[in-house]
Structure 1
Amino acid sequence: MTIEEFWKSWLLIWLLAGPILIAIVAVTYSLYLSHHHLGAMKEALRNSRYIYLWGSSLGKRGLIWSLLEISKIAGMILMPRASLRMGELDPIDLENFPPYLKRRLKVVTGLIVVGVIWLAAISVLIEFE
């Protein structure tokens, strides 16, 4: 297959649409987490300073804020070193965080990482074309 045929093929369309579809799935899943599991996350992190300060308004500030809150909690749980150092996260809360919620946060973070890597790979392929 020549390069011009490739750029007109369906494979290219799906290759370029992949990161967009992954982003849609990641945003949808993050909104699902914010609407159905945010209460359980707040309960699991009840001794943490971040939840103490922002807990009453979590999930009540709109669509974009809900996505940012889930991202913040995922960052606190999956990469806890900075949050522990700043005092936002209680070490006991981190230790006792429910595994099913941690797994869900890993899924949404993994979707975002895969989408970004895929998009970067496509950018490099287009640049070297």
Structure 2
Amino acid sequence: MNFNVWFETWPLDLQIAFLLAPFVIALSGVAIGVYIACSRHFDSMISAFPKSAWARQRDILGTSSLASRCYLVSSLSGALLFPQHLVRKGVIDADDVSDFPPSLRRLMAVSAWLVIVGMAWLFLAVGLLKLSGAT
């Protein structure tokens, strides 16, 4: 079935919601990451990795600007989703990962997954609309 024909049969409110939802989801994840970067959680996140080579990024980028703080939060959020590979490469220490605060780890995982789901939804929606010839 042609997605364009199927999509156009939806009510306008549902079409708008389908196209805006990935932005709302992904930007919610970004907002959580910015919250972590601007709060006391950032200091506990940095201090939780004393033995890891990942901490060298902090020395290179610094922690004074919001952009560098957000980059550090997002890179570590991604690293904590699947840490096995980075532990094998020696980028992060296994003890640092196991000692990381669970509540902060959960918050960072929620942030990363919201961004991932939002971007996947966006790519799927754009791909379906492009393949159907709607645009």
Give the TM bin, normalised by the shorter chain: 0.7 to 0.9
- Residue 49 of structure 1 corresponds to which residue in structure 2? 53
CA deviation after TM superposition for structure 1 residue 24, in Å? 2.0
- Residue 117 of structure 1 corresponds to which residue in structure 2? 120
Q: Distance in 1 between matches of 2:99 and 2:62?
A: 21
Instruction: State whether structure 2 residue 86 is matched by structure 1 residue 83.
Output: yes
Letter in 1 for 2:63: G
Q: What percentage of aligned pairs have identical amino acids?
A: 27
Give the direction of change, closer, same or farther, for the CA distance of 1:85–1:61 in structure 2 (3 Å limit): farther
Give the direction of change, closer, same or farther, for the CA distance of 1:47–1:67 in structure 2 (3 Å limit): same
TM-score, normalised via structure 1 length: 0.82
| Equivalent residues of 2:22, 2:122 under 8 A apart | yes
Letter in 1 for 2:36: L
Aligned 1:1-129 pairs, distance under 5 A: 6=9, 9-36=12-39, 37-51=41-55, 53-56=56-59, 57-63=61-67, 65-126=68-129, 127-128=131-132
| Equivalent residues of 2:22, 2:118 under 8 A apart | yes
Give the direction of change, closer, same or farther, for the CA distance of 1:123–1:91 in structure 2 (3 Å limit): same
TM-score, normalised via structure 2 length: 0.79
Letter in 2 for 1:99: P
For CA contacts below 8 A with separation 6 or more, give which structure has more relative contact order.
2
- Segments of structure 1 that go 5 or more residues without pairing to the other structure are none
Q: Distance in 2 between matches of 1:58 and 1:77?
A: 21
CA deviation after TM superposition for structure 1 residue 49, in Å? 1.7
**Number of residue pairs aligned between Structure 1 and Structure 2:** 126
Structure 1 runs (4+) greater than 4 angstroms displaced: 2-5
